[in-house]
Amino acid sequence: MTGAKELSGPRIPDSLSTAYATWTWTVESGYPPYSVIFRLTSPAGEFRFLKVTEHGFTPTAEEEVRRLRWAKSYITVPEVLETDRDAWCTWFVTSAMKGRSAIDPSFRDNIPGLLSLFAGGLREFHQMPVAECPFQFRISDALRAAKERLARGRINAEKEFHEEHARLTPEKAIEQLLRTRPATEDLVVCHGDYCFPNVFFEHGRIAGYVDLGELGVADRWWDLAVASWSITWNLGVGHEEEFLAAYGVDPDPERIPFYRLLYDVVS
């Protein structure tokens, strides 16, 4: 289990430490100490990914496994190889995704092409059948989750809020969401965190999607607002409208700020 001694995240179950004792462990991302994703590399060079979540953290590993297994019938997602839980955490191991994520620097050589691929991937995702999806993240569900996070002290504005929301306390953020809540929703199956690291391309086509823990039926602007935000984070200003046009919508000055603030509060 090379590299694991440097971890500051969730405790690793003994069964995993034993099963992957000869593999190299690399922290990929996460929210230490509650949730961490590891890249596992075998001595032969095989890659797998492990996600460990402490009980009480949302979305849980169990919730993400259910979403991955449901989505697999419609889109390309990693295969869940094993999953389990103990008294302290839940976890799952998946296969590696083919291709490269949109964050790969090589895609910057053709930004219009990258934006077109990124928009096409979101259109494909939104084509999954709403009526068949058992997971819900409509505004009422999201606001309820936000209030629960607030009550449990899990909203850390200083660490989690982006610059445009830095003036808000968690309480004020939820007040603003309640005040600016859109009256209607254009429902699709949303990814929940559609950003560059979570979308993979290969040979000029979508290769698949990762990090589906917040997949659910929601307003399409939940994804569009976050996706266009991700474009500015990764490419700089000036590309959001081109992405939205490639997807097939005009900017929505009411829903974009609402769903970006909602993202900061519940993610």
49 phi/psi in degrees, rounded to 5 = -130, 140
- Where do we find the tokens 């899990």? 154
Q: What is the pLDDT of residue 9?
A: 64
Name the CATH superfamily, with its identifier, for domain 100-266.
Answer: Aminoglycoside phosphotransferase (APH), C-terminal lobe (3.90.1200.10)
175, two tokens = 């007040």
CB 9 within 8 A of CB 36: yes
* CB-side neighbour CA atoms (13 Å) of 83: 17
CB 258 within 8 A of CB 180: yes
Numbered ranges of CATH 3.30.200.20 in the chain:
4-95
Label residue 46 by pLDDT band (50, 70, 90).
very high
CB 9 within 8 A of CB 32: yes
Q: What is the pLDDT of residues 233-244, one digit of tens each?
A: 999 999 999 999
Q: What is the pLDDT of residue 4?
A: 44
Q: Of the given ranges (31-40, 219-228, 242-251), which has the lowest mean pLDDT?
A: 31-40
pTM for the whole structure: 0.91
List beta partners, residue 25: 40
Architecture of the domain defined by 4-95? 2-Layer Sandwich (3.30)
Numbered ranges of CATH 3.90.1200.10 in the chain:
100-266
Concerning whether 193 is annotated as a catalytic residue, the answer is: yes
5 has a pLDDT exceeding 60? no
Q: Tell me the residue type at 231.
A: I
**Considering 86, 193, 211, 252, which one is annotated as catalytic?**
193
- What's the rounded mean pLDDT across residues 39-63? 92
135, two tokens = 């997971």
